[in-house]
Amino acid sequence: MRYILRKYGEFNGLKVPTIIRALKDLIPNEIPLEYRNKDIFETDILIVIQNYNRYNIRELVSTVLKLRRKDLGKLIYLPGPFNPYDFPVLFYLGIDILDASFLDIMGEESCIYPTGINNGVNCREWNNRLLDRIMNEIEISLKTFNFRELVEFYSHSSFSQEILRLLDMEYYDEIKEFLDHEPKNLKSSGLESIFRAEFREYRERIMNFKQKANNLLLIPCSAVKPYSMSKSHRVLHSYIGKYLKYIDEVIVTSPLGLVPREIESFYPAAFYDIPVTGYWFEEEKKMLIETAKNYFKDKKYDRVFYILPEGEDAILNIFDEKMGIRGKLNAENSEKLVQILEREIVKKSFDKRKIEILNILNYYYEIVLDNEDIKIVDQGNRELVYVNGIEFAKITRNGPYPMKGLAQYLASNRRKVIEIKESVKSSNIFIPVVAEISDDIRPGDPVIILNNGKIEGYGFAAISKNDLNYIKKGIAVRDFKRL
């Protein structure tokens, strides 16, 4: 897991993010007199933000991100009396080091609580235990890929909330560059999640999907993932199975917006969790409508069908004509839908599975192919895809794996490519062996491995190009397999 522009772990001899009790613990000598009145002080490994206005949060966020962009190879220290409950969002912002001076100010009679600061006894011990607990939770959440959830959980103060909202709303393009695509559970705990970078990027990645059939069916999500494994979706398919080849199924959900059926088992569609209450806030409805307008703008359906509960049915406003049931996805409403389909469905021939595979390949590799060039061989739990007679990809529930044709396509276009300095024999490729990483790679992406321009195989990236600039050891590619 990563926070902005920095992978969690040891860096320059420190395990970051961390706290220090005094600057002398980090810098052997005091800051030279001529630097004490400057806004920024730098050493070989450290950037100290000395003068800042903590009440001008927009300026603080801008300053930190500019410094981070300037030098990935240095740690950023933000001194000052910050409440430990604000530590998660400050580390998420990109600060590497904070200090515990706030606890010294509180003393023995001011105890820190989530709701504020109250008078008490033995508060120094209480506050130190609080700080230790929060730092331990930060470390665990970074290791278990739940750091963003922890940030949202602890964003009680307006200070934390403003930082988080500014990052999500105004710095999305920058944050997106440092996302990872490692599958992990994403817990959506509130409205802040709508603007979370992972979900915004997901919505961008589906916008070029092709229409798969001439009839559209909009249905709600389920708690079980993938949705097709849930009781409600299995019941639906038992009723409408004979019509599925004529239907483009799209699932309506928050905070993702829309999930085309063909990518329901991939990240993040199969890895998010939300509280299911049946209520949609106005912000969620707005996100859903905007997503739908962009996704469906170039698609022309003969019929639009739906089973949608209240709130999710806001999406229907973008369609001139639609028919279906407002309510839950269950056996009763599935039977009603069948009756509508029997009267209204338009049966036209689409190469539906071919188009689904094109969409899957576009989702993972941002490539556009002609479905007339594709041949699919069903092998039970996987499908082999041939393009112009060449083995191209292997499609499984976990995603598409490259074969010879896809590897050649990506290598010739320098996309999802890692160049190594020498041939390797192990299943992991380590950072010292890596010569170059293409800009479009994020940790978790399937990538092609080249050695002197020749295809060696494929694997899954553990680092990005930015990581390569300052991380000198560790795994660069895991699960390497030869082609």
3-state secondary structure of 116: strand
Distance CA 321, CA 330 (A): 23
For residue 292, the number of C-alpha atoms closer than 13 Å in the C-beta half-sphere is 23
Q: What is the pLDDT of residue 24?
A: 62
Provide the pLDDT confidence category of residue 383 given band limits of 50, 70 and 90: very high
Q: What is the mean pLDDT of residues 146-169?
A: 92
Q: How far is CA 311 from CA 30, 225, 248, 274, 308, in A?
A: 60, 21, 22, 15, 8
**Range with the poorest average pLDDT among 60-69, 264-273, 367-376:** 367-376
d(CA 195, CA 295): 18
pLDDT at position 397 is 92
Q: What is the pLDDT of residues 249-264, one digit of tens each?
A: 999 999 999 999 999 9
Which of the four pLDDT bands, split at 50, 70 and 90, describes residue 109? very high
Per-residue pLDDT of 427-477, as tens digits, reads: 999 999 999 999 999 999 999 999 999 999 999 999 998 888 778 888 999
Comparing 197-201, 277-281, 302-306, the range with the smallest average pLDDT is 277-281
Per-chain mean pLDDT for the chain: 90
What digits encode the pLDDT tens for the residues 268-297?
A: 999 998 877 777 889 999 999 999 999 999
**Could you tell me the domains of the chain?**
2-178 (3.20.20.105), 198-344 (3.40.50.10630), 353-482 (3.10.400.20)
Q: What is the pTM of this model?
A: 0.91
Give the separation between CA 429 and CA 462, rounded to whole angstroms.
10
